[in-house]
Every structure is written in structure tokens, then in C-alpha cells.
Chains A and B, each alone.
Chain A
């Protein structure tokens, strides 16, 4: 039979071909890293203050909250879903945390209640999506409106401040020159990275995002997985909410977390995750977050009007997607 031999074309791969494939692989899987390096170099040429270590730490500090949310968002989007509720949930969890803090006077209990509230709300999202068969976009859109409204109700539309000063130590302490939020962001990145690339959970997420029917026929419990995925996203929001609240020891029920979902989705998309799921990397999101942070920082250093910053961000997102389409 000539047939099988012909199809085995991988064996006739030439050396130059392999080099080209290598480049292709680098480009398709890590184009965001290349983009990061280019933007980093450009930034350091354009502004001498950029490379200052304090400035660099400042950037990391600023992106840590969105970064942690974006990690959860990556997992959700890899599974083929989306979570629009993250910003509102951050506000709600923040309000609940401060309320718990003031009621009990205990930082530990406040943190614990935050870490329980977020995943519970995530679980609710998951239930609507997996059991109620509501499209993720719609279910989390509803949660976005609902969570914000409850946060406003509890805080009576305003901000509430913590009465226990030690709570603010979480975001306002440093290890050497590295702020705690940065460390938490790095640890969370490592945690989600390991989860996605070394465990069964991660493998199933990719499988569901790639082909849900095949995944189900491979005896994966897709519904249960979706509950876990949205709960994990909720957990990430909890961590972000603790940092956000602890920064000023206060949370605003109306403005905190506003539009965070868009920044998180932007970071995930810039990081190369496919909108329809199945393809993307945690490392990509990490660098996507950094790119957004550098851009903001650059525009501040160069005195670009804050009103124009959204325009630049939008442009970058669209360029990123155009480049990914080329595959």
C-alpha cells in the first residue's frame, strides 16, 4: 500500500524545515513574550525613569490585582467560557470582608470570609452555566449586575472602612523592596500554572474548551468541572479583593472593581488565549498583564492625557488579536 507511507510526511522533515517549525512554535506559543520584550525595550528608550527599580516595582504593584483576576479569567476562558462578574464580585467580597472585619475585629476571620464568599459566588455562576445551561456571558452578566447591587445595598451606596488597622498591613508591607501584593501575585501565578499544566484539572479544562462533546464522551464530568472552574475564578477574585481592600483599609461599593472584567479579559486576550477556549497559556496571561501595566506606566511617564489611555489600550488589544488570527 502506498497510502500509509505517503501520509507519514513528518519523517521527510528537512533541517531548514525544522528550524522554521521551531520559529513558528516560538512565534505561535510565545509571541506575547516577544511583544513584551519589544515594548519593554521601547519603554526604556523612551523614558529614562522607566528602568528605575522603584518604577518597575510600582508597575508590578499596580498590576497585581488585575493580574490575579486575569489568572482566574484565563482558566474560565480556556474552558470556553467567560466571567463578566469579576469586578462587581470584587466589590461585594470587599464589602463583606470589611463588614466581617468590623464585626469580629479579627483579620483572620475577615480574610477567611473573603476566601469563602468569592468561591461561593463563583459556584453560583457555575451552577447557572452547567446545570441551568445558561450561556456564560448571560449568567455572569446577571451576576455582574446583582453582585454590584448587593454591595451597594450593604454599604448604602458609599465606602466602608475597616476599623482594625492591622488589616492594612497585608497590602502595605514589603519583603525587602518587594511589596506583599507582588509576592501574592507571583505565588498565585505559580499556583495556577502548576494547576493548569501539571494536574488532571488543567488537562480537563483544555479538553472542555477544545471540544466539549469529545470531553464528555471521554468520560469527563463536564458539569462538575465547570463548577470548579467558576469557583476557582471566584477564589482569585477573593484574593484580589483582599489586596484591594487592604490597600486603603476601605472599599467603595460603587467604584471599586469598576471595569476590572474588561482589563482582565484584555490581559488574557493579549496573552494569546483563544476566545473560544482550548488554547492559551498562563505564562501568556502573566506577560499580557505586564504589557498592560507597562503601557499605563509609559503613558503616565510621558504625560499622555488619561483620557487617551483607553484608546491606546484598545488599539493594543485589537493589534494583539489581529496577530493571533494570522495562524
Chain B
């Protein structure tokens, strides 16, 4: 019998179903891979197990007994530890202080018992085969050690199940080997590990069984031995999902943007590409592939990079978004709430914030002009807003995004970059945004779309670049792109020299 069973889990957010009848079974002392594309529902499922979210329907059984994970604390009491991708350590505290954070050992006077905590910390670390001074500050440790401390903390809490979310993204090969050895040791001690990763090769080498999620459903569960990289990739992306491409092959104009040998330490290296008038170029990859950093640099938000940028054949130096705008580059950022909208300004003001000179007369902003222009975009982009004088955060995600797009349409740049343009947007609005992107290209603009959704890229791009760990690992024409192909370049299982020019 399985140690942990999650049976028929259903979960919706805002009436959008995220998990539909998902089942996961975990044996005692196994490493179980949980894989799926971005948005397949992995995080939601693990958040349910971790007590962060409550399922709408379904049953969780631990050791045959039905349990309810009503809070993260409860989940921890049941022996489940969640090691997040962004490690949850306080870097200004010492190792043992982090280990015992929230559960400090105190002596009878109520003071913390440092010796005892250090002793226990050393015990666990030694068991894991590492030697760190428990009084060392966490900020002085490398990422792999930080990960070890998280794992030690899980052991300290006598966890029976450890969830690891993409633990290897920040690790070197050598460190990955050490982590895997450790995971195998834990397995011997009858601890079960749920291992979330996109890196299929690693999964193949360390995991025993797997569960594949796609679109919120379990599509496969079973032993890894009988699987090949190709068969797993195929299960992840499915085949029935492919929708028709929305663009025809079109005649492209002259080169608008050319990037030569762009590099930034630890973000991306040797990036070369060019884009023509009327072309839509897609950049895709997995989380942490460096594409956002690349285009934030190109837009001048990040300054620490080297290389040459040519706009319409002219060499430009971009070290501030203002200069990018002047050179003719526009940028619709990802994470709308943090990077794009200005919450305290109203809808119209968000539309006009970057182009106020269009609405000024004698140095004063003319509200009427702004209003008129907004009405124009409201009709063109089908922005649904009753009163445009409300602050922008009152709008739904899709409408907010359309306002941000209107802001850049008003600036009318030759090149426009969309980073994850359909993040958190419902299907109807998604389609409208695709159409708008295509319309821009037809008007002769050069459009760059960054997205982690392969389908989206295939639908609207003339050509596709795949990035892996800060480098372009693959390039193909939009019509040749398949999800399997994109996935194999994005996971690093394939790599090819990119044709330059």
C-alpha cells in the first residue's frame, strides 16, 4: 500500500479549473518525479499537499488514514516538508538558528540553549556527510549548502515526505551529484521524496517512479525504467493539443534589430540574433533560462552587460529605458503587478504615463485629450472598463494587460517586446492579445514574444529561439517548431550551434 495517496483531487481558482481528478501515489522510501509543463498544475497539487491551498474535492490519505491539510503547519506536523525553489533561509542568521527557527530549544530559564541546538545541528549535518560550522552565517554559504540546510531542517522535523521543487537550477554538476547521493541515502532511511523538475536527464538518473501532469490531469504514472526521454516529453506536451497557427508565411522587410554577442555575467552569454520588419520572433525556455534578463538588458533596465545592439543599422548604446524608447524599442514586462501597472494611477493615466508629451499643451496635461485617446484604444483593444477613472488594479488581468499594451501602442516604437503577455489571463482575452500582436507585425513592426508556453510561441511566431541556462540552444522556423522539439532544447537534452546572420 502506498504511504501517501492523493485521490481525485479537484481545484479551481476563480472558476478556472486547475486540477481535474488528479491522483498521486507515493511509496515509502522512493524518489517520485512529478513533471509537467508550466501551468500543468504541479505547484497547485504540491501546495495542496503542503496545506497552502484546500482542494475543492478529493481525499488525502497518509498511511491509509484520511487526513486534512488545513494549514502549512498542519502539513508539517504530518511530516511533510516543502523545499521551495527560492530557498526559505534567513541569510543574516546562523546555520543552527535557521535550523531551529520557530522551534528553538530553550532551557528552564527561558533562554535559548545554543549548545544543544549546535550539537543537534552538527549531528544531522554529519549524517548527511557535510561539515559546516553550525555558527556560520548562512549568507556566507553557497547555494548547494543552503539547500542541504533546508534538507537538514526537514530531517530535524522528522519529515517522512520531502517535496523538492526544481532543486538543481542553481547548482553545478558536482553539487548536483552530491545532492543525488544524499537523496539516495534518504531513500534508504525510508524517507520519500517528491521531485519536481524539468530536467528529464536528471529525473531519469535519480528517480524511481513518475507522475506526469498535463492540463490539470494525471496522464501517466508508473515506473521510470520503461520510459525514454522521448516518451516522457511526449506525455508532457501531448499531441491533441496543437492548435492551428495564426500566421501565414509572409514576406519580411529589412532587418530592424540586430544583437551581437550580448553577455551578462551569470545571466546570459553570447546572444546573437536579428529580427526583420513584420516578423514575430519567439523566445522560449524554462524558468531561469535568462530570457527575461536578456530583454530587460536590451531595454536598458539592466546595465551590466556587454555586446552590440544595432537598430535599423545604427549602433545604439542603451543604459536606461528612456534610451531604449528613443532607439525605438518598447517593452511590455512580465509580472504585470510588479513591473507594469502603477496601482495608484487610474486607467487613463496608466495608458498615458510614458507618452505624456502627446497630451500636453503649454506644459499642462489636457485631460480631454487623454480621455479621447483612451476611448480610441478602448474600442480598438476591446478594453472592458465602466469608469476609466478608477485605479487600474480594479480591472481584471486581461483588461490591465490591454491597457499596458495601449500604453506602448501610443508610443509607436518600431520594435516591441512582449514578456509573457498572456500571464494569468483568461482564454478569450488571450486570443485578443494574440490578434493584436499579429496586427502589429502586419503594420511592419518587429515583435518579440517571450513565453514559457510552447503552444503560444508556435501559434504566433515566424521563428523561434529556445534558451537554456542563458544561452540560445536552438533555433527553428515557426512552421517547423513542435512542442517535443522545443522541450528537448529547453531541457538541455539537445543543443545545436545557432546560425548567425
Q: Which residues of A contact B (CB under 8 A)?
A: 1-4, 6-8, 10-11, 13, 194, 198-200, 203-204, 206-207, 209-211, 213-221, 278-279
Contacts and interface: CB of A to CB of B under 8 A. Distances in A.
Contact of A216 (B301, B343, B385, B390): B301
Q: Interface of chain A, helix or strand or loop or mixed? A: helix
Given A211-B343, A213-B338, A218-B354, A4 B426 contact: yes
Nearest to B359: A200
Given A200-B365, A210-B344, A6 B15 contact: yes
B344 A209 contact: yes
B339 A215 contact: no
Nearest to B429: A4
9 contacts: A3-B426, A3-B427, A7-B396, A10-B394, A200-B365, A203-B353, A207-B353, A217-B301, A219-B354
Interface string B332-376: 010000111111110001000110110010011100000000000
A218 B365 contact: no
B324 interface: yes
A65 to B, nearest CB: 29
Nearest to B398: A4
Given A218-B407, A220-B353, A207 B342 contact: yes
Nearest to B394: A10
B365 A221 contact: no
A218 B353 contact: yes
A1 B426 contact: yes
Contacts of B339: 213-214, 217
A217 B390 CA distance: 22
A203 B343 contact: no
B365 A215 contact: no
A217 B321 contact: yes
B356 A4 contact: no
Contacts of A6: 15
B102 interface: no
A221 B322 contact: yes
A198 B365 contact: yes
Given A7-B398, A204-B353, 11 more contacts: A1-B427, A3-B426, A10-B386, A199-B363, A199-B365, A200-B363, A200-B365, A210-B344, A218-B321, A219-B325, A278-B342
B107 interface: no
A203 B342 CA distance: 11
A200 B324 contact: no
Nearest to A6: B15
B103 interface: no
Contacts of A210: 342-345
B299 to A, nearest CB: 8
Contact of A211 (B320, B341, B427): B341
B331 interface: yes
Interface string B388-410: 00100010101100000001000
A163 B333 CA distance: 61
Contact of A219 (B324, B365, B396): B324
A214 B322 contact: no
B231 interface: no
Interface in B12-35: 15-16
A211 B335 CA distance: 13
Report, nearest first, the 8 A-B pairs whose CB atoms are least far apart: A10-B386, A7-B396, A210-B344, A278-B344, A1-B428, A3-B426, A219-B321, A219-B325
Contacts of B396: 4, 7-8
A213 B333 CA distance: 11
A116 B387 CA distance: 44
Nearest to B427: A1
Contacts of A10: 385-387, 390, 394
A200 B342 contact: no
Contacts of B357: 200
A214 B340 contact: yes
B384 interface: yes
A194 B345 CA distance: 17
Contacts of B353: 203-204, 207, 215, 218, 220
A200 B356 contact: yes
A216 B340 CA distance: 10
Contacts of A13: 386
A211 B339 CA distance: 8
A198 B324 CA distance: 27
A194 B364 CA distance: 9
Nearest to B340: A214
A217 B419 CA distance: 12
Contacts of B342: 206-207, 210-211, 214-215, 218, 278
Contacts of B349: 203, 206
Contacts of A2: 15
B364 A214 contact: no
Contacts of A213: 338-339
A270 to B, nearest CB: 19
Contacts of A203: 345, 349, 353, 356, 365
Contacts of A1: 426-428
A264 to B, nearest CB: 22
A217 B296 CA distance: 9
Contacts of A194: 364
Nearest to A223: B320
B22 to A, nearest CB: 22
Contacts of A4: 384, 396, 398, 426, 428-429
A287 B384 CA distance: 37
Among A10, A209, A217, A218, the most chain B Cβ lie within 10 Å of the Cβ of A218
A216 B299 CA distance: 11
A200 B344 contact: no
Contact of B428 (A3, A200, A219): A3
